[in-house]
Amino acid sequence: MWDELETELSSKSAVDGYDSLFQSSVWYEKYRPKTLDEMILPDYIKDKLRVYISDGGKTMPHLGLFSRLPGTGKSSLAKVLMRELNAEALWINSSLERGIDILRTRIQQFASQTALRDCVKIVVMDEFDGFSKEGQAAFRGFIDNFGGNVRFIFTGNFKENIIEPLLDRLEVYDFNNFGPAQIAKPILSRLEYILAEENVQYERDDLLKVIKSNFPKIRSMIGALGAGLHTKEDGTKVFEYSYVGDSNKLDELMILMKQKDINKVRTLVYGLGSCDHIFGYLGEHIELIFGDKQEALINGVIALAKYQSYHSSAKDKQLNALACCFELMRLL
């Protein structure tokens, strides 16, 4: 199999396919915001955060960063604040570490120790909305007991899953409320910057289509850049929206896969004009599919790589993509 895969990747068509499937995740990490100025946020929020950064986080409250959709910048903002504040930080993935006794020990050890540097200490609870109500209640005590020494940042998809007594202790930024009037222009500038840095030609109208069809999912927009990338015979790299798959349908596909709705998954896959972009999308979102099921996640990545390697030579590409979806569903 590996000999066949090497042969595929050595051909120009396979390399183009590799670019379109993987460029999105490569670019997303390469151009992940590193400073507050690079974040896509309304100006009034940036202005508020700049004040917190200017005093070293001394006046920064505990924060709640929420958005129903993935890829809007919640985790990126938490990382930017850690970097801009030069903070000592403890990052906890709440979907993987749910034992409240373990967390109590880790947080208490971190919070009770004096910072090694003259800086603020931050505890980030990522994907906290999946935490049990009992566990959330315990965090009220953490905030009350350690709030003088530590700032807590909670991220999640569903704000309504967080208990009110905890929300009342947070300054909440709801990314669902950021409309096109506030952030569409900064998004366009960011996409243009990425393509310019990568020496990719494009039409601005194509970028506007990307923003409109994926708003507000910035990660999906950058993913669309990779999906729409192709190379002309003269070596010129070009982005064209016509090469981009329907990302809204792919969002629906992921939901149907998690619901194990075999008939609707089959109908959706065969309804796509092209299946080439399915693998890149599933690769970007595979952690959302499997959550904290680590063994299933590992096997899912292996299965995804297997079917992706088959894809360029498959006689029925939709059947190959469907088989991949079904195998991932079987692991759920």
138-176: pLDDT as tens digits:
888 888 888 888 999 999 988 999 999 999 999 999 998
User: Domains in the chain, ordered, with CATH?
Assistant: 2-32+188-331 (no CATH), 43-177 (3.40.50.300)
Per-chain mean pLDDT for the chain: 84
Digit-coded pLDDT (tens) for 59-96: 999 999 999 888 899 999 999 999 999 999 999 887 77
**For residue range 201-251, what is the model confidence (pLDDT) as tens digits?**
999 999 999 998 888 889 888 888 877 887 788 889 999 887 665 556 777
State the pTM of this model.
0.70
Is 113's pLDDT higher than 90? Answer: no
Three-state SS string across the chain, please?
CHHHHHHHHHCHHHHHHHHHHHHHHHHHHHCCCCCHHHCCCCHHHHHHHHHHHHCCCCCCCCEEEECCCCCCCHHHHHHHHHHHCCCEEEEEECCCCCCHHHHHHHHHHHHHCCCCCCCCEEEEEECHHHCCHHHHHHHHHHHHHHCCCEEEEEEECCHHHCCHHHHCCCEEEEHHHCCHHHHHHHHHHHHHHHHHHCCEECCHHHHHHHHHHHCCCHHHHHHHHHHCEEECCCCCEEECHHHCCCHHHHHHHHHHHHCCCHHHHHHHHHHCCCCCCHHHHHHHHHHHHHCCCHHHHHHHHHHHHHHHHHHCCCCCHHHHHHHHHHHHHHHC
